Amino acid sequence: MNQSYDRLAQHLDSTAPLCTALSSYRIIEVSGVDTEKFLQGQLSCDLRQLAEVGHIPGSHCNIKGHMISLFRLFYLDARKVWLRVHESIAQSAFDNLKKYSIFSKVTLRFADELSGIAVDAANSRKLCIGFEVKEDHKSLYVKEDSVIAVYDAALYEVWAQDNILLTCLEAGKLKGTPESHWDLANIERGLVDLRAETQEHFIPQMTNLQAVDGVSFNKGCYTGQEIVTRLQHRGILKKAMYRFSASGVEAVAPGSELLNSEGASVGEVVLAASTDSETQLLAVVQQAQIDAGETLRLPSGTELSFKGLPYELDPMLFEKKR
């Protein structure tokens, strides 16, 4: 369990209960003797640490280093890894991985027999007897073909056979909440999600993946690695992802522009969600605008307030290294 997230969980902006069906996501199962080797050669994260930490984010980039897919990886065993991906990019994510798998002893399939749910601590204890999170600081619990991923003391993600979750719902043990609650939980933790509207728009560092173990700079080669690593060691990062809020409820789609006081487009929304009284969002923004303390706006004219992140960005990312 990430301790910085655990501390953040005590001071979250939202107090809304969380019990959200992850119906907008699918699981790609990668299995076989070459599972780790294959994924290590394709994704930005380090598969060697997955067995220890249980779950991490990882991106699949094109040759220019821009993210074509973004996953949350769950480690079941040495020969099986689940990749959770948003449905809007699921098929293209699958196809892009599949075309690189022909020389590896792996099988890829959509595990559509699984269903996912995101819950808070109280609801996690109601899911199923014998599959409860314990006070042992593990980040992933695996039981047969089911997993509970622990993000912090207030956020859990569960994937299981349909009948397990349906049994809980039918028994009245769980009361559902809107999917916006899941989006809000990710926004508060600075966790990026990729949608069809933002495919191939960002390199991993623009969405802070390096701050949450989603990028490794010493793991060796993978698709797009040359560009990603060159930026880390030689370049200067001109854009990064930050968190903002706006008073009032407003529908904001991924890919929407952020404007500065002069009306120039200086950022792009990655993820947005609303509570009863405000809208929160993650957006990739020009670092120069952040450094200048510029007040940013949505296209509607609504002003945004700058919010903190639960992790720190390396200031060296924003300095020329040669």
Residue 182: CATH number of its domain: 3.30.1360.120
How many CB atoms are closer than 10 A to CB 318? 16
**Residue 34 CB coordination number (10 Å):** 17
Q: Is 294 exposed, middle or buried, given 0-12, 13-18 or 19+ CB atoms closer than 10 A? A: buried
Instruction: Inform me whether the pLDDT recorded for 10 exceeds 50.
Output: no
Given a contact cutoff of 8 angstroms between Cβ atoms, the answer to whether 271 and 254 are in contact is yes
Q: Has residue 245 been placed in a domain?
A: no
Residue 123, domain member (yes or no): yes
For position 3, what pLDDT does the model report? Answer: 42
pLDDT band, residue 322 (cuts 50/70/90):
low
Position 210 pLDDT exceeds 60: yes
pLDDT the model gives residue 6: 43
Residues 305, 183, 123, 9: is their CA dihedral positive or negative?
Answer: negative
d(CA 116, CA 128): 14
Q: Which helix (H) or strand (E) holds 121?
A: helix 121-124
Give the pLDDT band of residue 145 (cuts 50, 70, 90). Answer: confident
The whole-number average pLDDT for the span 160-180 is: 73
**Domain extent for 35:** 3-188
- Of 64, 84, 38, the closest CA to residue 182 belongs to 84
pLDDT band at 275 (very low <50, low <70, confident <90, very high): confident
pLDDT of residue 121: 73
Question: 1-15, 17-31, 140-154, 292-306 — which is least confidently predicted?
Answer: 1-15
The predicted structure's pLDDT at residue 286: 97
Judge whether 141 lies within some domain.
Answer: yes
158 — phi, psi (to 5°)? -120, 135
Work out the average pLDDT over 290-308: 94
pLDDT reported for residue 4: 39
Residue 295 burial (CB count, 10 A): 12
Hey, is 228 helix, strand or coil? helix
Q: How many structural domains are present in the chain?
A: 1
Residue 320 in any domain: the answer is: no
Do the domain assignments include residue 174?
yes
Q: Percentage of residues in the chain with pLDDT exceeding 70?
A: 86
Q: Report the Cα–Cα distance between both ends of the chain, in Å, rounded.
A: 36
CA-based nearest residue to 237, from 204, 201, 194 = 204
pLDDT of residue 162: 74
- Comparing 27-31, 126-130, 144-148, which segment has the lowest mean pLDDT? 126-130
In a domain, 277, yes or no: no
Each residue's pLDDT tens digit, 87-141:
999 999 999 999 999 999 999 999 999 999 898 877 766 664 445 566 666 899 8
Q: What's the pLDDT at 131?
A: 54
Q: Pick from 312, 285, 311: which is nearest to 206 by CA?
A: 285
pLDDT band at 11 (very low <50, low <70, confident <90, very high): very low
pLDDT band at 186, cuts 50/70/90?
very high
Contact between 243 and 207 (Cβ < 8 Å): no
Predicted local distance difference test score (pLDDT) of residue 194? 97
pLDDT of residue 138: 80
Dig out the tokens for 127 from the structure: 């899911």
Q: How many Å apart are CA 290 and CA 282, to the nearest integer?
A: 14
Assess if residue 232 is contained within a domain.
no
The contacts of residue 224 (CB under 8 Å, 6+ apart) are: 44, 61, 62, 63, 64, 65, 66, 203
Q: Confidence band (pLDDT; 50, 70, 90) for 313?
A: very high
Q: How many helices (H) and strands (E) does the chain have?
A: 9, 15
- pTM of the predicted protein model: 0.91
Segment 29-53 mean pLDDT: 96
Angle at 186 between CA 182 and CA 289, to 5 degrees: 135
| DSSP code of residue 297 | B
